[in-house]
Amino acid sequence: MKMKRNCAAALATVLITACGSMNVISDGADARLMLKGHDPVAFFTAGKPVRGDPAIKAEHAGVTYRFASDANRTAFFVDPAKYAPQYGGFCAHGMAYAVKFGGDPRWWRIANGRLFIYGDQEGHDFAGERLAFHIERGDHYWSSEAKDASVWRQYVKRVWFDKVPHYRRGVDLECEWLRKYPDRPHGMFEGRELKCPQ
Q: Give pLDDT, residue 13.
A: 46
Question: 121-129 vs 170-180: helix axis angle to the nearest 10?
Answer: 70
Structural domain boundaries in the chain:
1-19+85-198, 20-84
Rounded average pLDDT over 34-43:
98
Q: Give pLDDT, residue 7.
A: 47
Distance CA(72)–CA(59), nearest Å, equals 14
108: part of which helix (H) or strand (E)? strand 104-111
Cα 89 to Cα 3, 17, 23, 43, 178: the distances in Å are 24, 12, 5, 13, 28
What pLDDT, in 10s, does the model give residues 60-75? 999 999 999 999 999 9
Q: Give pLDDT, residue 154.
A: 93
Rounded average pLDDT over 16-32:
78
What pLDDT, in 10s, does the model give residues 127-158? 999 999 999 999 999 999 999 999 999 999 99
pLDDT at 196 over 90: no
pLDDT at 108 over 70: yes
Determine contact, residues 89/61, Cβ cutoff 8 Å: no
DSSP 85: P
